[in-house]
A = this chain, B = another copy of it.
């Protein structure tokens, strides 16, 4: 069984962490992700579970493979160093499980399309100009 751990930075503001949890729950419920029987949230800092904790939870629930995906927009130190280091810790703790690191969200070629979809139609009789 394959699990997906979507890793956000984590915030002192609980609503921001809840947003990531809700996204994972929605993806899990929609069952569009045939490859992943389990979709969970993890956090680099300031919220729980941490990346090693999140990976461990997936394994406890039966995952034999875990994909860790950084929910980040830019390839800064968190994406290039901190998250890979946490993934490496998880690999050391679970040598029998395959733990992969997916590309970070901001690297997706589809981001531009989402931005245009959000922007198009703004100002067309929607009163959003305040």
**Considering the chains assembled together, what is the distance between the CA atoms of A19 and B111 in angstroms?**
12
Residues of B within 8 A of A30 (CB): 112
How many copies of this kind of chain does the complex include?
A: 2
Check A74–B35 contact: CB distance below 8 A.
no
Q: How many residues of A contact B (CB 8 A)?
A: 57
**Considering the chains assembled together, what is the distance between the CA atoms of A107 and B119 in angstroms?**
12
A-B contact pairs, 10 of them (CB 8 A): A8-B73, A19-B74, A33-B116, A69-B119, A71-B73, A88-B130, A100-B122, A108-B114, A108-B117, A108-B118
Taking beta carbons and an 8 Å cutoff, which residues of A are in contact with B? 2, 4, 6, 8, 11, 13, 15-16, 19-20, 23, 26-27, 30, 32-33, 35-36, 65, 67, 69, 71-77, 88, 91, 98-103, 105-108, 110-123, 128-130
